[in-house]
Structure 1
Amino acid sequence: MEETLNLEDILDVIKRNLIMIISLTLLFGALAAFATAFLMTPQYEAKTQILVSQAQESDAAVNNQNIQASLQLINTYRDIIKSPTVLDDVVANLDLEQTTSALSNQIAVSNQDQSQVVTVTVTDEVAENGEIIANEVATVFQEKVADVMSVDNVSILAPADIGENPSPVSPQPLINIAIGLILGALLGLGIAFLRAFLDKRVTTEEEMQKYLDLPVLGTVAKFDK
């Protein structure tokens, strides 16, 4: 006879293993909290915005063409910002310990669709360092792009400013703890259902009638020694 697992069986498995499931859930939540507090280094972000524009023209059609040209150049500018041409000077100017490659991994360059504003985001363990690096990247890029592209259409729209009390962007304690709790609960449920699947013993009158299709004629009471 094919066995099926109905809602009653599922609830029974959970009920019989509830302590184990709760214990694993709390354990993984505690491990996630510990790792977040003591093993993960806080990371801070500093952002500066660069405007890619063209000189104003009286003719609207020409102006629209210039805007489209600026938008097409933005992808090129994103590559230049993270290139050794710019970052080598940033490392030298600030006397940074990390290599150009390592610095590149700390930098993210993005822009919204159809926007002439490029955002340079620097992630660092020290908030002040991120602000200094972001502003230096913008300054060096503004100088270098004139030589590399023979254009003068870049200006710093908003320098990086982390404020007085910056908050880390990672790790995020609540999210990490929630993930730990979910993983613990899933592991507990997995173990509970695996044990139920592998346990072929018949331990109750109801199971005997269900699986053996035989009537129960009597039971033997269990006596304590």
Structure 2
Amino acid sequence: MYENDGIEIDLSRIFGIIKKYFKPFVLIILTTSVAAVLITLFLIPKKYTAEAKLIIVQKSNPDSQQISYNDLQTSQKLVNTYSEILRSEAISDEVIHNLNLEIEGIDHSSYLGMVNISSVNNTEVINIKVKTKNPNLSARIANEIVSVFQQKIVTIMNIENVTVLNSAKIPDQKSSPSNVKNTIIGFLLGCLIDSCVIAYLLVNDKNIRTEEEMKQIFNYPIIGLIPDMNTVGGPE
């Protein structure tokens, strides 16, 4: 009971602070949210993602026109190997050279930063995503990676059955930054600032409001109370 009373007192103080400083708290949240939107729109560079897909099947019998279940299983297990090859300098150097990307300061390290290679739900399908500030460049790099990989994989892994599921198209919408995500981050930052202010005011609040608080602080019995003359009526 005593602990419950303490919790109620603390909550009442929190709600009291929120009520007293409600407008400044709302202003803080609005400020951080608007700031996040403005930073997203005008300061963070927009980036565009182009995506291409490959399917690679390694046949156990090259002369056969059919693909067996074992061929599919083997190909799925080798997807990680293909992904590492796509990230290797053997591919990146060729792509950079063919597209003259050295002019834009793109090297192997930059290539790894803009290219994302992944498998599709543990299948033999490989996703190639390229994110740059230029939508045309993203599509060109993605398609060039596919082209170079098809040529290189024949000699690296002795595989010829590489099929392009879809070539990369020029993206018409940015993939980052996200206006909604950053606005939510700004909103949460405002809430965090408000919480810190509330915690500071609670810690520095030295007022004693109830008889129970007096007993907790001084550990002495209360021998008398002074009535609030604003609420207690005087003699008629």
The answer to whether structure 1 residue 17 and structure 2 residue 21 are counterparts is yes
Segments of 5+ residues of structure 1 without an aligned counterpart are: 221-225
CA distance in 1, matches of 2:156, 2:54: 17
Q: Choose which of 101, 115, 118 in structure 1 pairs with 2:126.
A: 118
Query: Which amino acid counterpart does residue 189 of structure 1 have in structure 2?
Result: S
Which has the higher mean CA deviation after the structures are superposed, 152-161 or 121-130? 152-161
What is aligned with 1:176?
Answer: 182
Query: Which amino acid counterpart does residue 5 of structure 1 have in structure 2?
Result: I
Query: Which amino acid counterpart does residue 183 of structure 2 have in structure 1?
Result: I
Query: Which amino acid counterpart does residue 12 of structure 1 have in structure 2?
Result: G
Shift of 1:102: 0.5
The answer to whether structure 1 residue 215 and structure 2 residue 225 are counterparts is yes
Which has the higher mean CA deviation after the structures are superposed, 81-90 or 45-54? 45-54
Shift of 1:125: 0.3
Q: Choose which of 51, 54, 57 in structure 2 pairs with 1:50.
A: 54
What is aligned with 2:206?
Answer: 200
Shift of 1:10: 2.8
RMSD of aligned Cα (Å): 2.3
TM-score (normalised: structure 1): 0.85
Segments of 5+ residues of structure 2 without an aligned counterpart are: 215-221, 231-236
CA distance in 1, matches of 2:112, 2:133: 15
Q: Choose which of 5, 12, 16 in structure 1 pairs with 2:7.
A: 5
Query: Which amino acid counterpart does residue 185 of structure 1 have in structure 2?
Result: C
Query: Which amino acid counterpart does residue 51 of structure 2 have in structure 1?
Result: K
Number of aligned positions between the proteins: 212
Shift of 1:133: 0.3
For residues 121-200 of structure 1, the aligned pairs below 5 Å read 121-162=129-170, 166-200=172-206
Query: Which amino acid counterpart does residue 10 of structure 1 have in structure 2?
Result: I
The question of whether the paired residues in 1 share the 8 Å contact of 2:50 and 2:139 is answered with yes
CA distance in 1, matches of 2:31, 2:20: 19
CA distance in 2, matches of 1:44, 1:80: 24
CA distance in 1, matches of 2:82, 2:154: 11
